[in-house]
Amino acid sequence: MKLSERISLAGVTETLEALMGKGEIAANQFRLPFNRQHWRGQSGNWAGAGIGSSIDFQDHRPYVPGDDPRYINWQAYARTGSYSMKLYREEVSPQVDLVIDTSESMFVDSAKVSCAIEFFYFACQSAWRTAALLNAFQINGRKVEALSNDAIRMGDWEVAEESREQTNHSDWSQIPWRAQSLRVIVSDLLFDSDPEELLSISGRGGACLLLFSPYTNAEENPDWLGNLELLDCESKERARRYFTREDVDDYQRRYQEHFALWQEAAIRHNASLARMKAERDLADILLDETARQGGVELCR
């Protein structure tokens, strides 16, 4: 099913083009935190960590025995009589590996869908405007599909269908992560997979790992009192149950414990985890992230 059809089925009243436009507007003020990573790699327009071959040098330092004499600043020597070294910076293209979770739970609420899509396109625009090398994927359970940049730009891509093997796990090891990339994952994290294992796998190779998790008020504080019929969005199974105040309190406790485990694991693996309240404007969410020096920074 096309993305535009899928979000409409989820009750989103805005068009896909409108959501894409909001992400693009946000990229005028904010961007992914490219300054958190020391970049190495293909030629581009971003200051890297290695020695480059640019005509202009950015800095200098005193010469020490063993330095490459080709980088001695002879003009400075003529003026001062002291040897100094030209410091060049290679110009590189940052690498961004972007993943969006397209499992059924991401489409339960129209506000959550809108928030996720807006942020996904903000991240894409942020990468494109920085001339970063963007690899994008969608994941549904254990199924991973690559998304071409052209398809993303046009909003013309199919939402991955869940595999026939029913699972409440997400397997991030199937994603072809690049070494030293900026890895951005958009997911509600509502699955049984062990955060420690997933973050250990996804944070390898000198990467900078960023998690953005959309959620809604109804998800965090449900009004489940009395007789209700529940629908499992993943299995499509229905069940009737009577909920008391104690049942709701127990759910909220487990919900908070679930995300506390994710936050603790993120800290241990030096990853950034931002929970995005879907009812808020994207710009407000991103502004909060810059304030806490998390997964977003202001454009310069």
What domains, with CATH codes, occur in the chain?
A: 3-39+94-298 (3.40.50), 51-89 (no CATH)
Give the pLDDT score at 164: 58
267, pLDDT greater than 90: yes
What percentage of the chain reaches a pLDDT higher than 70?
A: 87
Give the pLDDT score at 15: 98
Q: Rounded CA gap, 173 and 137, in Å?
A: 13
Lookup: tokens for 154: 């046009």
- CA separation, residue 93 to residues 11, 156, 183, 288 (Å): 38, 26, 15, 27
Burial class (CB in 10 A: 0-12, 13-18, 19+), 67: middle
Q: How confident is the model at residue 8 (pLDDT cuts 50, 70, 90)?
A: very high
Give the pLDDT score at 55: 45
b/e 12-27 (16+ beta carbons within 10 angstroms → b): bebebeebbebbbebb
Give the pLDDT score at 49: 44
For 53-65, the pLDDT digits (tens) are 444 455 566 877 7
92, pLDDT greater than 70: no
Cβ–Cβ under 8 Å, residues 123 and 32: yes
Residue with tokens 């909920």: 243
Instruction: State the average pLDDT over residues 53-81.
Output: 73
268, pLDDT greater than 50: yes
Q: Rounded CA gap, 184 and 295, in Å?
A: 9
Could you give the angle at the alpha carbon of 127 between the alpha carbons of 197 and 210, nearest 5°?
A: 25
* 285 vs 38 pLDDT, higher one: 285
Instruction: State the average pLDDT over residues 183-207.
Output: 92
Residue with tokens 């960590």: 49
Residue 102, amino acid: T
* Paired strand residues for 145: 138
39, pLDDT greater than 60: no
95, pLDDT greater than 80: yes
Q: What global pTM score does this model have?
A: 0.82
Count Cα neighbours of 290 within 13 Å in the Cβ-side half-sphere.
16
Instruction: State the average pLDDT over residues 94-103.
Output: 95
100, pLDDT greater than 80: yes
Instruction: State the average pLDDT over residues 282-296.
Output: 88
Sign, CA dihedral 229-230-231-237, equals negative
For 125-155, the pLDDT digits (tens) are 999 998 899 999 999 988 999 999 999 999 9
What are the phi and psi torsion angles at 143 (to 5°)?
A: -95, 125
Give the pLDDT score at 76: 83
272, pLDDT greater than 80: yes
